[in-house]
Structures are given as structure tokens and as C-alpha cells.
Structure 1
Amino acid sequence: MAKDPLANPKPLMERTYAYVAYRIGAGPEAEDVTSEVFEQALRYRHTYDASRGEPISWLIGIARRCIARSLAARPPQSAPVDDGVGATTADLAGEALDRIELQQALMRLPERDRELLALRYGSDLTAREIGRVLDLTTNAAEVALHRALARLRSELLEPGPASGVRVSADPVL
């Protein structure tokens, strides 16, 4: 009997939502896209092949297509900012600036780098799982991640085009 890829859905939903939210921002749109991912997964669960990887890799592949459709359907917009209930004004201002700087640095990266970073830090995939999603060897995924992080660090250390302000050498990812 074939392994049911959705036998334990809760951790899969959490990781899928984290990836989607990392790519398009947390909130109702990310929830809708995550729901669409699981609707498609339920519809096409018979196509899951356990020999090609863990269920999360399969779901992230579905999520990538759903995100692409969602992004294509909406007008360009700025990144959402967490409301930070319970935080001080200074905390909120600092966090908002950090998020804006990080978002701007990410947007200056090539799409492939953004995708790699979203898979690693948004969905917490390993290099092996990223390799399966992107059809790369584990080593190629590790090298690509290393290079993407180096480019992100470089972007964070360089003055931004609009602000001219240097960012801390300790970026939080």
C-alpha cells in the first residue's frame, strides 16, 4: 500500500504556511494559498511518490505554483509589517526598520536566491529537501544557499539605493 503523504497533516500545514508566509507575507492571503495547496494535495495525493522525497518537498512544489498564481493575480505592493501587539514603540520602530531593510535587500536579490532563502528559512527545508524541490543535488543546493546568503549579506552591508544608510553587520534571518 502506498504511503499517505497527508497522514500527519498538522506539521506539514505549519511548515507549508511558514514557507508561503515567508514568500508573500503572513495573513489571510497566505492562509488562502496554504488552503489551496492542501486542496490540490488532497486532489492529487495519488501522484505522491515517496521515493522522490518527503511529503513536505512535494507540498512545497505545489506551494510554489500556488504562490506564483497568487502573485501574478495581485498588483505590486509593499511588504506587510507585523502589528507587534504588546511591544514598545521603540521595539516596533526598530523591528519595522529591520524588516524593511531585510525586505529591500531580499528584493534586490535574483529570484532564485529569494526562492532558496524562502525554502531554507521560510519552510525550514534541509539542503537535501531543497535539492529535491528544485531538482538539484544536495551539494548544489548547499552551494547555492551559501552563495545566496553571501549575496544577501552583501546587500545588507551595502548602502540601500534610497536610504544611503549602512545596515548592521549582524543581519537576523
Structure 2
Amino acid sequence: MTEGDSEPAPDMEALLAQGLPALRTFVRLRLAPALRARESVEDVVQSTCREVLESAEGFKGGGEAGFRRWIYTLAQRKIADRWAYHRAQKRDIGREAGGGDDLLLDQYAGLAGPGTQVASLEELRAIEAAFDRLREEDREVISLVRVLGMSAADAGACLDKNAGAVRTSLHRALARLAEELERGPG
């Protein structure tokens, strides 16, 4: 590389393939419960992936961390667009169901540690329900750090907080999630 050359273009397909499991989980958790019942998670993920590949020049760099921030922004925009579409259509968002259970276990596969296996679909639904009852700030910090795998500093850039504040927020959000899980369906 000669002086003045920019950094080489990242392999978008490789970055996307590596981040796909986290993207699926992120989208599933970030869709509001009523929208999740209506929209296919896979449709939102595929739409996000298509946009990533079609607008690769929009990626400003920053390696894997920068890619996670960029794809997070694109996915959030897709989710907001879907919500706006359904509101504009004045449709009963809870009437039609989509996003079947067949991919649910795969979407959460990345959340389990090596010695931990999620035993059943009911447990996954309990996690989703508890997650849905959290405050928006709690859902967002858990999604960024635990689902997308961002560092506290990278998540802080998205949340306009410093890394220490993100770590504190994450700790409190995970504690609230544990409380919601113990409380059960509500």
C-alpha cells in the first residue's frame, strides 16, 4: 500500500456472514411484541442484509466494531420503517402472525455459553417476554453489548454515553432482566 492509499475495502460478505446470527437475534429482540407477531424477523434481516450489500460504499470503515455500529443503525432504521408502515396502514398489528418458531432456536443459539443450552421454546419465549417488559434503555444496552457484541466504548458511541456508564447501565439492565425472568409471565 502506498502513501495516500486508503485502507482496503472490507469483505462485506464475510463481515455479514460473521454477524448474521447476532443480527437475527438483535432484530427479533428489537421488534416490538406486536410488530414481532406480525413481521417476519427473517424479512427484516434479509432487507437489512440487502441494504448492506447494495450500499457497501456507505460503510465508513472501523473494522468489525464499525461494521456492528453501521449494521445496528441500518437494522434500527428498518424496524422503525416497518413500524411506521403498519401504523400508516391502520392495520390491526396483532391480527396476523408471522415469523414462525422454526428459526427461533437458531436466532438465540449465540446467546448460550459453551456449557449452557436453552432447553425449550417456552424458555425462549419467557426470555423474550421478560425482555419486552424492560425499559427501552435496558433493551437497547443489552442488545448492543450482549447481542451484537459491541464493546462498552462502541455501544457508548451509539448511546452517547462513556464506556463506564454503559457498563453500569448493562449491569443494571441485566439485573432487571433477571428479576423479570424470576417474576415470570406478566
What is the TM-score of this pair, normalised by structure 2?
A: 0.64
1:51-130 superposed matches below 5 A: 54-74=66-86, 75-76=93-94, 80-82=100-102, 94-130=119-155
Offset at residue 158 of structure 1 (A): 1.0
Structure 1 SS opposite 2:10: coil
Structure 2 residue identity aligned to 1:108: R
**Could you tell me how far apart the structure 2 residues matched to 1:64 and 1:15 are?**
19
Offset at residue 157 of structure 1 (A): 0.7
**Could you tell me how far apart the structure 2 residues matched to 1:15 and 1:134 are?**
24
* Structure 1 unmatched ranges of 5 or more: 86-93, 162-173
Offset at residue 17 of structure 1 (A): 3.1
| 1:35 corresponds to which of 16, 37, 50 | 50
What is the TM-score of this pair, normalised by structure 1?
A: 0.68
**Could you tell me how far apart the structure 1 residues matched to 2:154 and 2:143 are?**
13
Instruction: Give the 3 Å change call, closer, same or farther, for CA 111–155 of structure 1 in structure 2.
Output: same
Structure 1 SS opposite 2:101: coil
Q: Paired residue for 2:23?
A: 20
**Could you tell me how far apart the structure 2 residues matched to 1:113 and 1:71 are?**
20
Instruction: Give the 3 Å change call, closer, same or farther, for CA 17–156 of structure 1 in structure 2.
Output: same
Instruction: Give the 3 Å change call, closer, same or farther, for CA 20–49 of structure 1 in structure 2.
Output: closer
**Could you tell me how far apart the structure 2 residues matched to 1:15 and 1:117 are?**
19
Offset at residue 110 of structure 1 (A): 1.1
* Structure 2 unmatched ranges of 5 or more: 29-40, 87-92, 107-118
1:147-158 superposed matches below 5 A: 147-158=172-183
Offset at residue 160 of structure 1 (A): 2.0
Q: With CA pairs under 8 Å and 6+ residues apart, which has the higher RCO, 1 or 2?
A: 2
